[in-house]
């Protein structure tokens, strides 16, 4: 009789454990963020256990930390190779590559992340967190709650039933950098491929200067400004500002913005660059399936 009771107790205990494990498997986790005066998403992240202020930057390509922050942490080892690439403005950059022990945002942890160290004064910002860390982890940027939510298989499936599922184009270079793109219809005339860049700042809509004529923009009447590089102040980008009628995601005309103040930049390496929150107040990235869900 005691053996029967014990077996029943053990079965009951195993069921409880299984339910707990199942609940944990489907549990969401999240981290808060703040919006800077420039419109950047600022999060707390840790490299090798040392916490800092980071921009969550979907257009960064590669995670970067400042030289000042790097001096505070141990366990970052330099790799033999480097990376030569171009910023969106066409500025050429060659950077050394490093391997850290871990990158943490709340309960999300990436082991052995690759990053670079930049000798730049970014003020209170200690670095940029790129999409490379989340190429296997779906997440939602919730502008209403000011949270980044790490989704599970179950929550992601529910989200896709609630919003518009937009295809993304992935640009993965040498398995070291990752950027995402979406097709945008400009002024109901041109369909251009825009890089989605949450690190660009608020109300940023940038288009390659070669499309000026096709879009009927008069550069003589446009406002002309010069923007120095954060990494090399001697390099200055010429920007022409003018208003466009509309931008809308291809195939999803209700995801649009009207009367758009746009920057035209000669030498831009993409068709265009666009910030994020105009698309929706809840945007989910499912990078394993090259999709974005807008709600």
- For 79-115, the pLDDT digits (tens) are 998 887 767 666 677 889 999 999 999 999 999 999 9
pLDDT on residue 5: 44
Q: Given pLDDT bands bounded at 50, 70 and 90, which one contains residue 223?
A: confident
Instruction: Please state, for a pLDDT cut of 70, what percent of the chain lies above it.
Output: 85
Query: Average pLDDT in the 228-242 region?
Result: 73
CA–CA–CA angle 191, 193, 196 (5° rounding): 130
CATH assignment of the domain containing 146: 2.40.70.10
Number of domains in the chain: 2
Q: Could you give the 3-state DSSP secondary structure of residue 178? A: strand
Q: Given pLDDT bands bounded at 50, 70 and 90, which one contains residue 282?
A: very high
* Strands 223-228, 282-286: pairing kind: unpaired
Q: Are residues 168 and 201 in the same domain?
A: yes
Domain that holds residue 203: 160-294
Q: Given pLDDT bands bounded at 50, 70 and 90, which one contains residue 266?
A: confident
Instruction: Report the range of poorest mean pLDDT among 11-25, 102-116, 217-231.
Output: 11-25
pLDDT on residue 229: 67
Task: Give strand pairing partners of 142.
Answer: 147, 282
Q: Are residues 168 and 98 in the same domain?
A: no
Among the candidates 152, 172, 207, a domain finishes at 152
Q: Are residues 201 and 285 in the same domain?
A: yes
Q: How far is CA 52 from CA 43, 45, 60, 120, 126, in A?
A: 8, 6, 17, 16, 6
Higher pLDDT, 203 or 219: 203
Nearest to 121 by CA among 67, 176, 48: 67
Q: Are residues 244 and 166 in the same domain?
A: yes
pLDDT on residue 230: 62
Task: Please report whether residue 11 resides in a domain.
Answer: no
Query: Average pLDDT in the 46-73 region?
Result: 96
Q: Given pLDDT bands bounded at 50, 70 and 90, which one contains residue 197?
A: very high
pTM, 2 dp: 0.85
Q: Are residues 174 and 286 in the same domain?
A: yes
Instruction: Report the range of poorest mean pLDDT among 35-39, 70-74, 91-95, 116-120.
Output: 91-95
Task: Please report whether residue 18 resides in a domain.
Answer: no
Q: Given a cut of 60, is residue 213 above it in pLDDT?
A: yes
Among the candidates 114, 130, 152, a domain finishes at 152
Q: Are residues 135 and 188 in the same domain?
A: no
Q: Given a cut of 60, is residue 15 above it in pLDDT?
A: no
Task: Please report whether residue 1 resides in a domain.
Answer: no
Q: Given a cut of 60, is residue 2 above it in pLDDT?
A: no
Q: Are residues 86 and 188 in the same domain?
A: no
Instruction: Report the range of poorest mean pLDDT among 1-15, 149-163, 274-288.
Output: 1-15
Alpha helices in 112-229 (DSSP H): 153-162
Q: Are residues 184 and 273 in the same domain?
A: yes
């Amino acid at each position: 009789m005691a053996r029967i009771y014990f077996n029943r107790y053990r079965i009951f205990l195993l069921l409880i454990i299984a339910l707990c494990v199942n609940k944990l498997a489907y549990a969401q986790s999240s981290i808060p963020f703040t919006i800077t005066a420039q419109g950047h998403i600022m999060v707390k992240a840790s490299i090798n256990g040392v916490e800092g202020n980071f921009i969550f930057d979907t257009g960064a390509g590669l995670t970067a930390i400042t030289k000042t922050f790097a001096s505070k942490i141990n366990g970052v080892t330099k790799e033999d190779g480097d990376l030569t690439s171009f910023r969106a403005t066409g500025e050429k950059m060659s950077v050394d590559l490093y391997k850290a022990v871990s990158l943490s945002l709340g309960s999300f942890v990436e082991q052995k992340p690759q990053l670079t160290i930049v000798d730049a004064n970014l003020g209170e910002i200690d670095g940029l967190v790129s999409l490379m860390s989340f190429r296997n982890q779906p997440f939602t940027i919730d502008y209403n709650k000011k949270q980044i939510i790490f989704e599970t298989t179950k929550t992601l499936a529910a989200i896709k039933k609630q919003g518009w599922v937009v295809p993304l184009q992935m640009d993965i270079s040498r398995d070291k950098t990752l950027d995402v793109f979406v097709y945008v219809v400009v002024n109901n005339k041109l369909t251009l491929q825009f890089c989605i860049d949450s690190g660009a700042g608020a109300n940023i809509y940038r288009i390659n200067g070669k499309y000026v004529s096709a879009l009927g923009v008069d550069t003589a009447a446009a406002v002309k400004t010069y923007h120095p590089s954060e990494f090399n102040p001697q390099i200055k980008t010429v920007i022409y500002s003018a208003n466009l009628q509309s931008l809308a995601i291809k195939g999803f005309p209700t995801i649009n913005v009207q009367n758009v103040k746009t920057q035209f930049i000669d030498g831009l390496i993409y068709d265009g660059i666009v910030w994020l929150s105009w698309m929706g107040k809840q945007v989910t990235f499912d990078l394993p399936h090259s999709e974005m869900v807008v709600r």
